[in-house]
Amino acid sequence: MRREYPEAPRVGVSALIRQGDTVLLVKRGAEPGKGCWALPGGLLELGEDLADAVKREVREETGLSVEPTDVVAVQQYVEGRVRYHYVLITFECEVRGGSPRPGSDAADVSWFPLAEALKLRLTDTTRRILTKGNRVYLGTVYRR
């Protein structure tokens, strides 16, 4: 199924990875959100377990091995006349190994103190998660 102007919503996963007062972010190398900083993540593959998907996506984008520990947020992202429609499930994850390095569609990867991260050009969904804290919530981000 195509990403732009899809026939049905796409399911995505992302990872909130913290160490102390820092959070791991990737600079997006592709649309939507190209050039913005975001939580690492991507699309669920057909038949794939959600936890396995977030582990795979984090490994592909950052080189880190992680273990999901909890669901932090469930959101929708809908852009324009449905150019993009994602249902995003964000997991809190703990690092199990590896060193951060950009991979796949990530232009960069870095740890940021939360206060500094909030000053960056973030995707709307990432900003909502970072400002809401560690609470499960439902939300919709509409971009026109």
pLDDT in tens, 1-32: 666 766 778 899 999 999 999 999 999 998 88
Residue 121's identity, in one-letter code, is R
Pairwise CA distance, residues 73 & 90, whole Å = 5
In a domain, 75, yes or no: yes
Domain that holds residue 58: 10-143
Look at the block and give the residue holding tokens 């449905």.
82
- Model's pTM, two decimal places? 0.86
Give the chain's domain count.
1
Residue 99 φ then ψ, to 5°:
-125, 135
Q: What is the mean pLDDT of the chain?
A: 88
In a domain, 1, yes or no: no
CATH label of the domain that carries residue 118: 3.90.79.10
- Going by DSSP bridges, is the β-strand pair 65-79/138-143 parallel, antiparallel, or unpaired? parallel
Torsion angles phi and psi, residue 33, rounded to 5:
85, 20
- The H helix count followed by the E strand count for the chain is 3, 8
